[in-house]
Amino acid sequence: MSTLIDFYAKHSRLIDQIGVNAILALSLSVSLQAGQLALAQAAFMGIAAYVSAILAMNAHWPLLATIIAAMLVSTVVAALLALPVRRLRGVFLAIATIGFGEIVRVFANNVDGLFHRTLTGGAEGLSGIPNDATTPVIYGALALVAIALYLLSRTKFALAVALVREDEHAARGVGVDVGTIRMLSLALGGAIAGLGGALYAHASFFITPNDFGFPRMEQILVWCVVGGVTSPLGAVLGATLLSILPEVIRFLADYREITNGIILLAVILFAPGGLGSLWRRRAVRVRL
């Protein structure tokens, strides 16, 4: 028991980080399952993180209330973003949503000057956020998201999402409203990213706009690619692996980006479907 306590005391921050990263990976997986390369998860995360932090620090709201408010805001923002980009596909959608993310980051950097009061702390960041996102809270939230997505995968909505991803014209031919499916997928992804952002803020004490810039979005995308772009389980595995990896290869700190690139290239070459596809292959072999 004492060994486990010592291990947790030494690695508690990493353990919490893995849980938050898994939630963020699931948020992008929702959009990718609908065939949307929408790269705004870091922006939704940042919006929710600031909403949650500001409500906790200025209005003294409890954690649950700030999380709910943050998720509502990020969901509404995601749904509104879905309207102007609903006709975009592929790289054009990616560029548009990356641009939105940069707008959010720049706004967070400069909003204090616009309103002549401290809201986000600007480039210096926002400190003193209540540290009440404990490990049980983070993993409880992850479990709830996983259960919700599993239950959703058994519905007609999940079937409609798969149809939209595989063939939009065929989906329209059987009466699926493609625009609504895309909007709902992006909004759901925004809600989950908002949950991750609120937990990140309350687990980190301190946030800055750069925490939610393009490098963060790139990380989330890589987790999903390594795990499998259409596999929620793979997204969690990818986030877990690439969260632990930097700690394992600390001796290669100067070559960390190169190492991550090699891992990504190896997955693309030898497991194009990601880690999730290896799991599915094994399951098929067991049934056979």
Q: What is the pLDDT of residue 20?
A: 96
Residues 6+ apart with CB under 8 A from 222: 238, 242, 260, 264
Specify if 68 maps to a domain: yes
Write the DSSP assignment of 131-189 as a string of letters: ----HHHHHHHHHHHHHHHHHHTTSHHHHHHHHHHH-HHHHHHTT--HHHHHHHHHHHH
Residue 194 belongs to domain spanning: 2-209
Q: How many domains does the chain have?
A: 1
More confident residue, 147 or 261: 147
Specify if 33 maps to a domain: yes
Q: What is the pLDDT of residue 57?
A: 92
More confident residue, 133 or 142: 142
Specify if 270 maps to a domain: no
Q: What is the pLDDT of residue 281?
A: 55
**pTM for the structure as a whole:** 0.91
Specify if 38 maps to a domain: yes
Specify if 266 maps to a domain: no
Residues 6+ apart with CB under 8 A from 259: 245, 249, 252
Q: How far is CA 91 from the centre of its chain?
A: 19
In angstroms, the CA 96 to CA 103 distance is: 11
Q: Which amino acid is at 181?
A: I
Specify if 149 maps to a domain: yes
In angstroms, the CA 228 to CA 79 distance is: 25
Specify if 69 maps to a domain: yes
Q: Is the separation of the CB atoms in 45 and 101 below 8 Å?
A: no
Specify if 243 maps to a domain: no
* pLDDT single digits (tens) 253-280: 566 667 767 777 877 777 777 776 665 5
Strand ranges inside 38-139, DSSP E = none
